[in-house]
Amino acid sequence: MSKVLAVLGATGNQGGSIVDFVLNDTQLSKEYKVRGITRDPSSESALLLKQKGVEVIRGDVTNPPSLNTALKGAHTVFALTAPAYGPDSRAQEFATGKAIADAAVTEEAQYIILSTLPNVSKLSDGKYTNVTGFDAKADVEEYVRKLPIKSAFFAPASFMQNFQNMPIQKDENGDYSFVRPVTPSSLLPLIDIVADTGKFVGAILASPDEYEGKTFCAATKVFSMTEIAGVISEVSGKEVKYVQVPPDQYRQTLSGRMGSYADVLVDMMLYQQDFGYFGPQTEELVQWAVDNARGKVTDFKEYLEQHPLPSLQ
C-alpha cells in the first residue's frame, strides 16, 4: 500500500518540483501517493495537479485546524515556510513552521522533510541580524529536531531563477555589468529550484533511514561573482563584467523599489561573503549534496541556455 506524501506548497517552486519528481520516478511513484496541500484547491495550478492524479487538499498555515485535516493519514510531510515581513517577521514565520510540525506529530506522521536555511545571526556571531527569513527557518529546524518524529532537511542555495529579475546594466559605451556589494571572489552556491528540488528531496524519500537527521545543502556548484559573470557572458554572447560597489551605495539603489528589504538583501550578501552561504564548509557540503542527489543536477550554463535572461535580450 502506498504511503501518503503530503507536500505543502505543492503549487509552488519547491513543492511542485517534488510532486513532479515523485510522479515520474519509477520507484517513488509506487511507494508514495502524492497529496498536494494548498490554500486554494480551486486555483488553476491546483487543478493542474489534480489532472496529474494528485490528491489536492486545502491547508492554510494561518489556520492550524486545516493543517490537521490536510495531514491526516500522511506518512511523510514536506514542509516549508514563507518569509514574513515586519518587526515580528522571525517570530511569525517560526509560528507557521511550528504549526505545521505540531500538526504532523498530532496526526502521527512518521517523517518530516523540512525546507530550511542557515542561521545567519548565529553563524555570523551577531554581525548580521536582518536576515530573518533565514534565521526563522533555522529556528523551525531546531524545533523539529526535538520532536518525536523522524526528520531530514533540504536547504536550498540561491535560486538561479533570481537572475531572471536581476538588472544587468548597460553603460553609454555598450558595456554590460551586474553589480553587488561583495568582492569578485565572493562565493555563492546556485540551484535550479524548479528542476532540482525533487532530485535532492527524492534522495531522502528513497532512503529515509539513511538520511535521517541530515541536511542537503542543495546546489549544483559554488560560483564566484567573476565566474557567474563569465557564464552569463558565454551563454548570452555579450560580455558581462562583475562590478563591486560599496554596501551603502548598493542599498540606496535598492531602497527605492524594495524599501526596508534592501537592508535584508545587503546583510544577506555580506554574510555570504564573510561566512559562506552554508558556513565555512559550504563547498564541501554542496559537493556532498550533489553526490547524493537522485539524478544529475542542472548546471548554471544549462539553466541559462534554457532560460535566457530578459535583460540581455
Q: Residue 139: pLDDT above 90? A: yes
Pairing of β 187-191 and β 158-159: parallel
Of 82-91, 141-150, 286-295, the poorest mean pLDDT is in: 82-91
Q: Is the pLDDT of residue 7 over 90?
A: yes
Taking residues 42-57, what's their average pLDDT?
96
Task: Using the predicted structure, report yes or no on whether residue 313 has a pLDDT greater than 90.
Answer: no
In this predicted structure, the answer to whether residue 64 has a pLDDT above a threshold of 80 is yes
Give, in degrees to the nearest 5, the angle at Cα 283 between 300 and 181.
Answer: 70
Q: What is the mean pLDDT of residues 23-42?
A: 97
pLDDT at 85 over 90: no
Backbone torsions φ then ψ of 84, nearest 5 degrees: -100, 165
Confidence class for position 254, pLDDT limits 50, 70, 90: confident
Mean pLDDT (the chain) is 96
Contacts of 233 (CB under 8 A, 6+ apart): 239, 240
The domain segmentation of the chain, as residue ranges, is: 3-225+228-312
Stretch (H or E) spanning 271 = helix 261-275
Average pLDDT rounded to a whole number, residues 102-107:
98
What pLDDT, on a 0 to 100 scale, did the predictor assign at position 125? 98
Backbone angles phi, psi at 156, to 5 degrees: -75, 145
Q: Is 202 a residue whose pLDDT tops 90?
A: yes
Alpha carbon dihedral 241, 247, 251, 254, in 10-degree steps, equals: 10
What's the confidence (pLDDT) of residue 180? 96
Query: How much is the pTM?
Result: 0.96
- Just give the CATH number of 3-225+228-312: 3.40.50.720
- Does residue 1 surpass a pLDDT of 70? no
State the cell numbers at 41: 484547491
